Amino acid sequence: MKESLLAELEAARLTFHALLDSLSDQELKQPSANPAWTNQQILFHMAFGYFLIPSLIGIVWIFGRLPDAVSKIFAGLLNAVTRPFNAINALGPQGGGRILGRQALGAIFDAVYALIVELLRRLPEDELRRGMHYPTRWDPLFRDYMTMAEIFRFPMIHFYFHVSQITRSSV
Protein backbone atom coordinates (compact mmCIF):
# COMPACT_ATOMS: atom_id res chain seq x y z
CA MET A 1 0.00 0.00 0.00
CA LYS A 2 2.88 2.38 0.77
CA GLU A 3 4.41 2.04 -2.68
CA SER A 4 1.07 2.78 -4.29
CA LEU A 5 0.58 5.87 -2.10
CA LEU A 6 4.11 7.08 -2.86
CA ALA A 7 3.49 6.70 -6.61
CA GLU A 8 0.16 8.55 -6.34
CA LEU A 9 1.77 11.36 -4.34
CA GLU A 10 4.56 11.75 -6.90
CA ALA A 11 2.11 11.80 -9.81
CA ALA A 12 0.05 14.49 -8.07
CA ARG A 13 3.22 16.51 -7.33
CA LEU A 14 4.20 16.43 -10.99
CA THR A 15 0.65 17.41 -11.99
CA PHE A 16 0.67 20.30 -9.51
CA HIS A 17 3.93 21.66 -10.94
CA ALA A 18 2.80 21.15 -14.53
CA LEU A 19 -0.37 23.09 -13.79
CA LEU A 20 1.46 25.84 -11.91
CA ASP A 21 4.05 26.16 -14.68
CA SER A 22 1.45 26.11 -17.46
CA LEU A 23 -0.40 29.19 -16.22
CA SER A 24 0.84 32.58 -17.35
CA ASP A 25 1.21 35.37 -14.80
CA GLN A 26 -1.98 36.88 -16.24
CA GLU A 27 -3.87 33.57 -15.91
CA LEU A 28 -2.77 33.22 -12.28
CA LYS A 29 -4.43 36.56 -11.52
CA GLN A 30 -7.67 35.91 -13.37
CA PRO A 31 -10.81 34.64 -11.63
CA SER A 32 -11.15 30.89 -11.31
CA ALA A 33 -14.40 29.00 -11.81
CA ASN A 34 -14.76 29.22 -8.03
CA PRO A 35 -16.20 32.73 -7.55
CA ALA A 36 -14.34 33.29 -4.27
CA TRP A 37 -10.82 32.92 -5.68
CA THR A 38 -8.43 33.71 -8.49
CA ASN A 39 -6.49 30.87 -10.12
CA GLN A 40 -3.50 31.62 -7.88
CA GLN A 41 -5.67 31.56 -4.78
CA ILE A 42 -7.29 28.27 -5.74
CA LEU A 43 -3.84 26.79 -6.37
CA PHE A 44 -2.89 27.85 -2.86
CA HIS A 45 -6.08 26.19 -1.56
CA MET A 46 -5.24 23.01 -3.47
CA ALA A 47 -1.71 23.02 -2.03
CA PHE A 48 -3.07 23.72 1.45
CA GLY A 49 -4.66 20.26 1.40
CA TYR A 50 -1.08 18.94 1.40
CA PHE A 51 0.06 21.41 4.06
CA LEU A 52 -2.48 19.92 6.52
CA ILE A 53 -1.42 16.29 6.12
CA PRO A 54 1.46 16.17 8.66
CA SER A 55 -0.89 17.52 11.36
CA LEU A 56 -3.74 15.21 10.34
CA ILE A 57 -1.39 12.21 10.45
CA GLY A 58 -0.39 13.18 13.99
CA ILE A 59 -4.03 13.47 15.01
CA VAL A 60 -4.86 10.03 13.55
CA TRP A 61 -1.77 8.58 15.22
CA ILE A 62 -3.13 9.75 18.62
CA PHE A 63 -6.89 9.30 18.21
CA GLY A 64 -6.49 6.00 16.37
CA ARG A 65 -5.06 4.54 19.58
CA LEU A 66 -7.94 5.73 21.74
CA PRO A 67 -11.38 4.18 22.04
CA ASP A 68 -13.52 4.81 18.95
CA ALA A 69 -15.97 6.96 20.93
CA VAL A 70 -13.23 9.52 21.66
CA SER A 71 -12.63 10.36 18.01
CA LYS A 72 -16.40 10.36 17.42
CA ILE A 73 -16.79 13.03 20.13
CA PHE A 74 -13.82 14.97 18.74
CA ALA A 75 -15.32 14.89 15.22
CA GLY A 76 -18.62 16.09 16.68
CA LEU A 77 -16.88 19.03 18.35
CA LEU A 78 -15.15 19.93 15.10
CA ASN A 79 -18.47 19.70 13.23
CA ALA A 80 -19.90 22.16 15.77
CA VAL A 81 -17.31 24.78 14.73
CA THR A 82 -17.80 24.34 11.00
CA ARG A 83 -18.76 27.98 10.47
CA PRO A 84 -15.44 29.43 11.76
CA PHE A 85 -13.54 26.70 9.90
CA ASN A 86 -15.31 27.64 6.65
CA ALA A 87 -14.44 31.32 7.17
CA ILE A 88 -10.76 30.49 7.66
CA ASN A 89 -10.86 28.03 4.74
CA ALA A 90 -12.26 30.80 2.52
CA LEU A 91 -9.99 33.63 3.68
CA GLY A 92 -6.74 31.63 3.91
CA PRO A 93 -6.33 31.18 0.15
CA GLN A 94 -7.19 34.81 -0.48
CA GLY A 95 -4.22 35.88 1.64
CA GLY A 96 -1.93 32.98 0.79
CA GLY A 97 -2.62 33.34 -2.91
CA ARG A 98 -1.70 37.01 -2.80
CA ILE A 99 1.42 36.59 -0.67
CA LEU A 100 2.95 33.51 -2.26
CA GLY A 101 4.04 33.84 -5.84
CA ARG A 102 4.57 30.97 -8.26
CA GLN A 103 8.10 30.11 -7.08
CA ALA A 104 7.33 30.34 -3.36
CA LEU A 105 4.18 28.24 -3.69
CA GLY A 106 6.07 25.59 -5.68
CA ALA A 107 8.95 25.54 -3.18
CA ILE A 108 6.68 25.27 -0.13
CA PHE A 109 4.64 22.58 -1.85
CA ASP A 110 7.83 20.57 -2.51
CA ALA A 111 9.05 20.98 1.08
CA VAL A 112 5.74 19.76 2.51
CA TYR A 113 5.61 16.97 -0.07
CA ALA A 114 9.07 15.80 1.06
CA LEU A 115 7.87 15.77 4.69
CA ILE A 116 4.75 13.76 3.76
CA VAL A 117 6.88 11.23 1.84
CA GLU A 118 9.26 10.92 4.80
CA LEU A 119 6.34 10.38 7.21
CA LEU A 120 4.88 7.73 4.94
CA ARG A 121 8.21 5.93 4.53
CA ARG A 122 8.81 5.82 8.29
CA LEU A 123 5.29 4.68 9.16
CA PRO A 124 4.89 0.94 9.66
CA GLU A 125 2.59 -0.54 7.00
CA ASP A 126 0.01 -1.70 9.54
CA GLU A 127 -0.41 1.90 10.80
CA LEU A 128 -2.01 2.80 7.45
CA ARG A 129 -5.10 0.84 8.54
CA ARG A 130 -5.45 2.81 11.78
CA GLY A 131 -8.19 5.43 11.62
CA MET A 132 -10.59 7.74 13.37
CA HIS A 133 -13.82 9.65 12.91
CA TYR A 134 -13.70 12.93 10.98
CA PRO A 135 -15.85 16.07 10.85
CA THR A 136 -17.97 15.37 7.77
CA ARG A 137 -19.27 18.96 7.68
CA TRP A 138 -15.77 20.39 7.14
CA ASP A 139 -15.22 18.97 3.70
CA PRO A 140 -17.51 16.99 1.38
CA LEU A 141 -14.54 14.70 0.71
CA PHE A 142 -14.23 13.68 4.39
CA ARG A 143 -16.02 10.52 5.42
CA ASP A 144 -17.23 9.69 8.91
CA TYR A 145 -14.33 7.30 9.47
CA MET A 146 -11.01 7.55 7.65
CA THR A 147 -7.85 5.48 7.87
CA MET A 148 -4.37 6.89 7.81
CA ALA A 149 -3.99 5.66 4.22
CA GLU A 150 -7.09 7.65 3.30
CA ILE A 151 -5.63 10.73 4.99
CA PHE A 152 -2.44 10.39 2.93
CA ARG A 153 -4.65 10.11 -0.16
CA PHE A 154 -6.93 13.04 0.80
CA PRO A 155 -4.82 15.92 -0.59
CA MET A 156 -4.67 14.24 -3.97
CA ILE A 157 -8.45 13.75 -4.08
CA HIS A 158 -8.89 17.35 -2.94
CA PHE A 159 -6.41 18.58 -5.55
CA TYR A 160 -8.10 16.77 -8.45
CA PHE A 161 -11.52 17.91 -7.20
CA HIS A 162 -10.46 21.55 -7.68
CA VAL A 163 -8.43 21.21 -10.92
CA SER A 164 -11.49 21.86 -13.08
CA GLN A 165 -11.94 25.23 -11.36
CA ILE A 166 -8.75 26.59 -12.95
CA THR A 167 -9.63 28.84 -15.88
CA ARG A 168 -7.55 29.62 -18.94
CA SER A 169 -7.37 32.70 -21.13
CA SER A 170 -9.36 32.29 -24.29
CA VAL A 171 -6.52 33.68 -26.43
Rg (CA), the chain: 17
Residue 171: which pLDDT band, with cuts at 50, 70 and 90?
Answer: low
Q: How would you class 22 by CB atoms within 10 Å of its CB: exposed for 0-12, middle for 13-18, buried for 19 or more?
A: exposed
- On whether the CB atoms of residues 21 and 169 are closer than 8 A, the answer is no
Q: What is the pLDDT of residues 41-74, one digit of tens each?
A: 999 999 988 998 999 999 999 999 999 999 999 9
Question: How many distinct structural domains can be found in the chain?
Answer: 1
- On whether the CB atoms of residues 32 and 146 are closer than 8 A, the answer is no
Q: pTM of the predicted model, to two decimals?
A: 0.87
147 part of a folded domain = yes
- CA–CA distance, 148 with 142 (Å, rounded to integer): 12
CATH code at 155?
1.20.120.450
Give the domain range for residue 131: 2-163
Q: What is the pLDDT of residues 87-136, one digit of tens each?
A: 787 777 888 888 888 999 999 999 999 999 999 999 999 999 999 999 99
**Three-state DSSP class for 146?**
strand
